[in-house]
Amino acid sequence: MKKYNNVEKSWILYDCTISTYSMIIITTILPIYFRMIFENTGGSTAMATAYWGYSNSIGRLLIAIAAPILGTIADYKGYKMSFFKVFCIAGIVFTALMAGVPDSAWILLLVIFILSTIGNSGSNIFYDAFLVDVTSKKKMDMLSSIGFAAGYLGNIVAFAICMSIVILAGMHIIPISVSEACKITFIITAVWCTIFSLPMIKNVKQVYGIEREPKIVVNSFKRLFFTIKNIKQHKNLLIFLVAYFFFIDGVNTIITMATSFGADLGISSTTMLIVLLFTMIVAFPCAIIFGKLSEKFGGKKMLYFGIIIYSIICIYANFVHNSVGFWILAMLVATSQGGIQALSRSYFGKLAPKEKNNEFFGFYNIFGRFAAILGPFMVALATQITGKTSKGIFSILILFIIGGLILTRVSDKDSESTEEYPNENLAVRE
């Protein structure tokens, strides 16, 4: 990390909050806890998977709708960090509040989960957009990859602590129930996110933006509509967004539905937690490797590689019937999960106009969030119809195929340019 300055390091560290929230709240402990309390009230395994998929879709739909206008407003100087703080704090508070929900109130739990997702996802809009402010164009791929790697590394610690508490409670080694142990992990997640948000809030500043003017909200809508009306001026960027919509949908879906798929295979909660811990251990170096390889082969080629790996995952998932298969599947995911997300973020950052990067990252996030609605819904619907999650996972193969084909239409000219921003020295200042 010596070659990165304090601003870049602070930006990198925030990925620890994203990764930890995603792992504990989206992927592992909360869905396991929800499934447990839902089934204790008489619900079926298939319906637990369906409701979890629908809840993820609702939260992401709401933030997706708001993302473009929020990003457009944040393009005014001084607004980006303010928006980041509001959503960041909201995500942390609602994550902590989940610990106070009674075990029988699964509907209330899902409502608070949706609100926490809005907070966490909303802060990510502005975090991603800060990539342009904190570093130079030539360092974006590697910095974005290092961010994901740091997130995995930090997450290994946080997840190991939370996993240990749940496992020890399940083995009756500590005098609390599994339900109480899960609630403790929600508090730990909120505290963890708070700690790793502070450097970002303290050190990262908005460099690029437009000057403030009267009637900011009204003019922001006007600018947004103007951009939409003249989107053909950014044809290359638009094509990438469409490709991203499809392939990142599949990535997010697999992450979101991983524990539900494992549960449907009859894999114990303890085994799934251990598998996912090892997934992060493998994902940590793989994210860095993706960044290094992108410097040699280019970000676009590495995105193709990630799409191919995930296509194989979708096919293989349909033939997984035991814990060994689940282990193999998880390790395949680990090889490309961080890399494909990191390079998508940096690739888009190099395509987007720097002075309007918040507005365009708003579009980036709306495509990503809407993508995260379609995938879980597809899996939920297929699971509800067939009673098998594997059929839902297999069905999203089409998303990777479509995304990969559209990506071939994106020109590398802008993304591979070595031209830096006019005030690069400001962007990388200490």
Q: In whole angstroms, give the CA distance from residue 33 to residue 269.
A: 10
Q: In whole angstroms, give the CA distance from residue 359 to residue 234.
A: 13
Q: In whole angstroms, give the CA distance from residue 334 to residue 179.
A: 28
Which spans in 230-298 are helix H?
A: 235-264, 269-297
Token code pair at residue 173: 């080694």
Contact present, 377 and 72 (Cβ < 8 Å): no
Would the pLDDT of 429 be above 70?
no
The pLDDT of 195-207, averaged and rounded, is 90
Q: How confident is the model at residue 358 (pLDDT cuts 50, 70, 90)?
A: low
The pLDDT of 345-363, averaged and rounded, is 73
Mean pLDDT of all residues belonging to the chain: 81
Would the pLDDT of 420 be above 50?
no
Q: How confident is the model at residue 144 (pLDDT cuts 50, 70, 90)?
A: confident
The pLDDT of 7-33, averaged and rounded, is 88
Token code pair at residue 174: 């500590």
Q: In whole angstroms, give the CA distance from residue 199 to residue 188.
A: 18
Q: How confident is the model at residue 401 (pLDDT cuts 50, 70, 90)?
A: very high
The pLDDT of 308-330, averaged and rounded, is 86
Q: In whole angstroms, give the CA distance from residue 422 to residue 412.
A: 21
| More confident site: 63 or 403 | 403
Q: Return the ∠ at Cα 340 (arms to 205 and 326), rounded to 5°.
A: 125
pLDDT at 56: 77
Beta partners for residue 161, in sequence order? none
**pLDDT above 90: percentage of residues in the chain:** 19
Dihedral angle over CA of 342, 56, 73, 93, nearest 10: -100
Q: In whole angstroms, give the CA distance from residue 192 to residue 204.
A: 19
Would the pLDDT of 190 be above 90?
yes
> Which of 62, 132, 68, 63 lies closest to 362 in space, CA to CA?
68
Q: Answer whether 0.85 is exceeded by the pTM.
A: no
The pLDDT of 271-284, averaged and rounded, is 82
Would the pLDDT of 372 be above 50?
yes
The SS3 of residue 408 is coil
pLDDT at 388: 72
Contact present, 266 and 116 (Cβ < 8 Å): no
| Domains of the chain: residue spans and CATH | 6-206+231-415 (1.20.1250.20)
Q: In whole angstroms, give the CA distance from residue 319 to residue 84.
A: 42
The SS3 of residue 210 is strand
Token code pair at residue 132: 């342009």
Q: In whole angstroms, give the CA distance from residue 341 to residue 251.
A: 8
